């Protein structure tokens, strides 16, 4: 199984982006895995560049699974995103200074795409670790949603039968100690466990689908 896992660099006054820390740590932890090959990349928090790059990576790496990670600073749960919207709408400029108001990502593209990750199974597995997780119906209208939408658009455009989705993570708990929100957030270790659990679920799902396919063709 070939997995493309992306994070983002810092934006909007954040000192660092937890998603960057998490994907780099996962690249280290999983680099010797025999079951899958993992490609990790930190995308710029820029609508245009991140959108170009995710498509390039999909074309060259040919992943079976695409998981985008980004931080949602006001959320307390790991959020498995269900829907990518064909919309850029923000008052906060991206790192290139771009602002969009009610603009379509792909003119004439579908209004929305559903994630093709096994969200229910992933949620159940993360819950079984005692970590806060939910399925979210809204990935926002900023750069994360943009990458999620374009990755899904690419799978449709190329007719790829792959798993593709997006996960928002909360800020690190330690980061919040300086604010009034000291009870919010998760530790890097907890987030890593949750993402590893998602990868395990994907691997099991793919293995059982392959078994089914083999049985059907026999």
Spatial CB neighbours of 122, under 8 Å, sequence gap ≥ 6: 80, 133, 197, 198, 201, 202
168 is catalytic: yes
Nearer to ligand PCA, 6 or 155 (CB): 6
> Could you say whether residue 45 binds ligand PCA (CB under 6 A)?
yes
Residue 2's Cβ-count burial label (10 Å; 0-12, 13-18, 19+) is middle
* Residue placing its CB nearer to ligand PCA in the complex, 125 or 152: 152
Is 66 near ligand PCA (CB under 6 A)?
no
Is residue 11 part of the contact set for ligand PCA (CB under 6 A)?
yes
Q: Is 5 in the site for ligand PCA (CB under 6 A)?
A: no
Instruction: Please report which helix (H) or strand (E) contains residue 113, including its range.
Output: strand 112-114
The Cα-based distances of 203 to 9, 45, 113, 198, 216 in angstroms read 27, 29, 23, 9, 20
| Cα–Cα distance for residue pair 78/70, rounded to 1 Å | 10
Judged by CB under 6 A, the chain residues 115 through 144 that form the site for ligand PCA are 140, 142-144
Would you say 17 or 206 has its CB closer to ligand PCA?
A: 17
The burial class, CB within 10 Å (0-12 / 13-18 / 19+), for 98 is middle
76 is catalytic: no
* Residue 198 falls in the annotated catalytic set: no
Angle at 73 between CA 70 and CA 78, to 5 degrees: 60
Please list every residue from 147 through 206 that binds ligand PCA, using CB under 6 A: none
Catalytic residue among 144, 153, 154, 198: 144
Catalytic residue (choose from 20, 46, 81, 154): 81
Position among 6, 17, 79, 86 found at the interface with ligand PCA (CB under 6 A)? 17
Of the candidates 153, 168, 175, 198, the residue annotated as catalytic is 168
Residues of this chain that bind ligand PCA (CB under 6 A):
8, 11, 17, 19, 45, 70-72, 140, 142-144
Catalytically annotated residues: 81, 144, 168
């Amino acid at each position: 199984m070939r997995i493309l896992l992306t994070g983002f660099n810092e934006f909007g006054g954040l000192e660092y982006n937890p998603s960057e820390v998490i994907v780099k740590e996962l690249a280290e932890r999983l680099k010797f895995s025999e079951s899958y090959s993992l490609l990790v990349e930190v995308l710029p928090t820029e609508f245009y560049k991140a959108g170009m790059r995710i498509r390039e990576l999909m074309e060259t790496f040919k992943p079976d699974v695409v998981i985008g990670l980004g931080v949602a600073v006001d959320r307390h749960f790991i959020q498995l995103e269900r829907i990518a919207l064909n919309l850029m709408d923000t008052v906060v400029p991206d790192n290139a200074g771009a602002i969009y108001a009610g603009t379509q990502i792909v003119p004439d593209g579908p209004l929305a795409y559903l994630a093709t990750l096994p969200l229910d199974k992933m949620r159940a597995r993360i819950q079984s670790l005692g970590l806060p997780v939910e399925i979210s119906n809204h990935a926002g209208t900023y750069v994360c949603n943009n990458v999620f939408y374009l990755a899904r658009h690419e799978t449709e455009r190329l007719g790829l039968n792959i798993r593709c989705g997006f996960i928002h993570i909360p800020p690190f708990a330690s980061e919040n100690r300086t604010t009034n929100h000291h009870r919010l957030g998760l530790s890097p270790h907890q987030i890593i466990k949750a993402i590893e659990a998602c990868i395990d679920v994907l691997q099991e799902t793919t293995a059982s689908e392959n078994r089914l396919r083999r049985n059907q063709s026999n």
